[in-house]
Structure formats: structure tokens, C-alpha cells
A and B are shown apart, each in its own frame.
Chain A
């Protein structure tokens, strides 16, 4: 019996190690190569570089001007967060708080939006954007990203609000608040951890999105679009530096928001 338990543990650890290596080893390679001195990187006899430098990141950011596209990416992501929450939060709140006809179909419809392949939408979108003067603007990219993020925002916020008993809000109303005040002073503070996790999620989504950003912009490129075009022609260490910068926010996000993410999804399951 005891042996079987031990065997089970060994198997579990083995599987866990395998799965995490699958994710972590490439990550490690990216980070190591990003900071490796090119001589070490290209040296066939050195499987693992020993000398490190910030030159690669430096070149990418300032010589190739990636800092500008990082700024663009941040701006687009920020706009995406603002827009998608402006639209998605009220929708999520109503889904959580009110009963109305067609609520379930509406939810399904929202998820259904995610089935549309961006590839199909890209060309018509460019045409429309050219007419509206939105082509090659950050707002244009942000709008497209908002469309992508909105279903997530609606569903996640609705499950966050559903997890906050309506009694808290009603108690606020009884004790002197208006409905709006009650929402802002009672429900929002309680929802904030979940909402910030959702916001970071949207940020990552926008930060990582390549296709739409590449199609819709020419000069005002976001980071992934910029990397796709310029860094791919650059030497390998620069590619890895780009990869490192791309992956950094996502990693920070997971480290910070792990706790809240579990909460968000936990509520969804409930």
C-alpha cells in the first residue's frame, strides 16, 4: 500500500516536471539567449553561454527603436482596457444582477463572437478603417482589440459581480446611498481584485496580439507587429531579446495575479 502511494507520488512529480519543463525550458532559453554575448551564443562548443550583456536589449530598444512600439503597445492596451471595461462592465453587471428574457442566449452569443476568425475579418476591417480614417492609428488597433476582449470582460465581470451578494448593495441603499453610490462604494471595492486581474488579462491579450496589429498599422506599429517585421530580419540574439520583452509582462502578471485568477475562475465555476 505504502509503496503504491510512493509510486503514485513519483509519477505525479514526473508528470509535473515534464509539463513545467515544456513551458519553462523554452522560456529559459529565450531569457538566457537574450542576454548572452553574441560570441557565446554563436559558439558551437558552448552549449550554455557564460558571459552576459545588456547590449542585445539595448540595440533592440534604442537602435532599432522598439521602445516606440512598446509605448504604442502600452497605449493600445490601456485604451483597450478602458474601452472594453466601459462597455463590458455594465453588461457584466446586468448579466449578474438582472433576470431578463434571452439572458442565456445572450451569453452564448457573446461566447459565439469568439468563434469568428480574425483572418476573415481583417480585410473588411482594413477597408472600413481606411474609409473612417482609422487605418494605421492606435485607436483603430485598440478598437479591434476591444472587440476581441469584450466577450471575456463581459463574462468575467459578470461572474465577479455574481459572486458579490446583492444584499451588500441593498444594505448600502437602505443606509443612505443611491443605487449608483452603492455600486461605487460597496460593490466596486469588493470587485476590485477580480476586476484588476481581468484588466491585466486584457492587457496581456492586447500586448500579445500580432495579426490585427500588423494588418491595421504601417508606421504606428505595436510591439509584436514591429518585431514581426523588423526584428525577424535581425540576428538571433536580437530576436531573443524581443521575445524576452514580449514575455515579460505576462510573467509578471502571472506572478502577481495568480491568487486573484483562481478567485475569478473559482467564482465562474460556482
Chain B
């Protein structure tokens, strides 16, 4: 259990900068998720922390210890690989026991620890089997068991759930989170699945093109995205973006105009030309009534398309040239082409600089 600090980490592969000046401190016992689209450098960052890859620049600290150039085995880490990497020529027992055998722990202690981990992950009856006799989910449990028996300072997980089917994935993500709470081990978890990140993380580090876009709790990252990328990446369906001019108490977009009321958080701000973002769930259809705390700006649009998802209905609403997605809880009936009144919640509206794409509010 240790704090992990990344200082100005840079890793290049040929001309591609996979990790671009990353600074990040992961607190002792924290569960942090590196989240980003494929190729954003999150796995490379994890490999730099593991020691499987060496940085071109920058430092990695575990507590006060500079581990930048230490080989993986001297870092007291463990890792769950995306492919599980459960060794096929060893039984489940030997797989879990192997890290301890290398450390020359006494046999009876090894046995005790293997049994402890097997019980924790409910794989006791699999100990004599070989990996090819296991399902994906079972292999995954073996990989996790192997990772926790060594009592690592840092636990690294590289998309451990991505090869499981959807149902098992949902089950395992809560189990892994509970396990981590119990063991209180500093955990760095890589995923491209924003739901997984939201559910599991103490803090999320969103990455794109090798750079850190934002670090924060799931709530922060969701409610106060630092830039257009984070705003668009987190949340489903994606946040609506449209260009507008905000000046003199008026928000004017292509196709509609909003008089900014005094209780809007950005009242009296003159942003000029900006990119406006609003989440589909922050637009409400008027005939359903408004939840408390909403600062409404009422607009009328034309229904362009309807996606009934069962739990929600996604409405594609045309306001002039702008199409906004509206997320309505439950089922919702509307004719395509009909006019509907909606309220944009100005309290949840986001503003981004058009050039730097950074949040202005």
C-alpha cells in the first residue's frame, strides 16, 4: 500500500507520443481508473507504472522510492492482464502459488494464502484444473487471485473485464470494487468503458492522445467536465454541443434564442462566441413537468426521430439548424414531425472556449 506519483512522464514509439507529459498522484489505497478511447495512452501509462515499459522522460515514484528504471519484479506490484495471462502449463493452484514460490515462502503458508484467495474469489473447486478447462470468467478470477496473494503495494488492471460477456462484466465490476475496498490496495485500472469507470473509480483520470484531460471523482468528471473531450466522452448518450453567442443577457444559437434569467449561473457573463454543451438528461419535455432545481429556458422544437430504449426514450429534436438529443425517463409517445416544448436546464449548461476547448464556467 503506497502512494504512486507520476512526474512528467513521456513515452514515444517512433514518431508517436503515446504518453505526453503525464503528472498524476494516486493516493494510498485509492482506486483510480485511467479512462480513454483506444490508443489514448492509458495502457502505456499502466505499463510504465508496472515497469514493463521504460519512459523516455519523467519519473515514477512509489511513495518516496524512485522506481522509474526498476524492473517489474522489484516494484512489488501485481497485474491483471486483459488476456488474463494465466499460464497454461500450470494448474490453477500453481498459477496462484507461483508468485509466492518465487519469493520462497514456506509451503504451508503458500497453501494457506492460495486457499484464502480461492475462497475470496469462489474458485476453490477449480484449483486442480488447467486453464484450458476454465471459462473466461473463471480464468479472470484466477488472474485476480494470483494478483492479490502477493499482497502488492500497487495492483494494476488492464481492461480485465473487456473479454467477459456483458452480464458477467456487470457482476465482476462490483465484485472487484468490493474486493479492492476490503484489501485497501492502491489500484490503477485501465478501461475504455465509461460506465465501468463511473461505477468503480474513486477518481477517474480521463486521457486522450497521450495527455491527461481531467482527473476527478466520477461526480466531478460528470458534472464539471474540464473540456470538450471529457464532456463528450463521459455520459451516454453523448452531450449535445452547439455553437452560440452569449452576450448582454442573451444566448443566441443558430435557430433559437434564450433570454438568460437572473438565476442562471452564467447570468451577466459575456462569453462571446462559445461552444455550448448540455446533456440529453438536462433537457426536459414540458408536458412531464419539471424536477426541482431546474432553471428552465423554454424552447419549441420539431421531433425528428425517436429511439425507445425501454428504460429511457431518446428524442431527436430539431431547433432550427441544431439537433438536440433529449433523454426522457421511461416510454414517451410523440409523432415524428410534431412540435414539442422542452426546457433546457440552464443550471446544468456547459460553456467551452471554441479554440482551446476548455470549460469556461
Contact = CB atoms under 8 A, between A and B. Distances in A.
A174 B85 CA distance: 11
A111 interface: no
A179 B89 CA distance: 18
A2 B83 CA distance: 46
A214 B102 CA distance: 51
Contacts of A189: 89
B85 A173 contact: no
Interface string B317-353: 0000000000000000000000000000000000000
Interface in A177-230: 177-179, 186, 189-190
Interface in B75-111: 77-79, 81-83, 85, 87-89, 98-99, 102-103
Nearest to A171: B85
A165 interface: yes
Contact of B71 (A165, A178, A186, A190): A178
A176 interface: yes
B26 to A, nearest CB: 18
A175 interface: yes
A175 B52 contact: no
A186 B90 CA distance: 10
A165 B85 contact: yes
A51 B247 CA distance: 113
Contacts of A173: 51-52, 71-73
Contacts of B197: none
A176 B85 contact: no
A170 B98 contact: no
A177 B74 CA distance: 9
A178 B51 CA distance: 12
A168 B90 CA distance: 12
B260 interface: no
B258 to A, nearest CB: 53
Nearest to A189: B89
A175 B102 contact: yes
Nearest to A173: B72
B146 interface: yes
B50 interface: yes
A5 interface: no
B87 A168 contact: yes
Contacts of A190: 87-89
A167 interface: yes
B251 interface: no
Interface string A151-174: 000000000000001011011111
Given A176-B73, A176-B102, A165 B89 contact: no
Contact of B73 (A167, A174, A186): A174
B73 to A, nearest CB: 5
Contacts of B71: 173, 178-179
B79 A177 contact: no
A171 B85 CA distance: 7
B89 A171 contact: no
Interface size class of A (residues with CB under 8 A): 10 to 19
B52 A176 contact: no
Contacts of A178: 71, 73
A178 B72 CA distance: 9
A166 to B, nearest CB: 9
A167 B77 CA distance: 16
A169 to B, nearest CB: 9
B314 interface: no
A174 B87 contact: no
Given A170-B52, A190-B89, A175 B83 contact: no
B51 to A, nearest CB: 8
B282 to A, nearest CB: 42
B78 A175 contact: yes
A19 B98 CA distance: 50
B40 interface: no
B359 interface: no
A174 B103 contact: no
A170 B73 contact: no
B150 interface: yes
B87 A171 contact: yes
A176 B99 contact: yes
B327 to A, nearest CB: 39
Interface of A: 165, 167-168, 170-179, 186, 189-190
Given A165-B83, A167-B83, A171-B87, 16 more contacts: A168-B85, A168-B87, A172-B87, A173-B71, A174-B72, A174-B78, A175-B78, A175-B98, A175-B102, A175-B150, A176-B73, A177-B102, A178-B71, A189-B89, A190-B87, A190-B88
Interface of B: 50-52, 71-73, 77-79, 81-83, 85, 87-89, 98-99, 102-103, 146, 150, 156
12 contacts: A167-B82, A170-B52, A170-B72, A171-B79, A171-B85, A171-B87, A174-B79, A175-B98, A175-B99, A175-B150, A176-B150, A189-B89
Closest 8 CB pairs of A and B: A176-B102, A175-B99, A167-B85, A171-B85, A173-B72, A176-B73, A174-B79, A174-B72
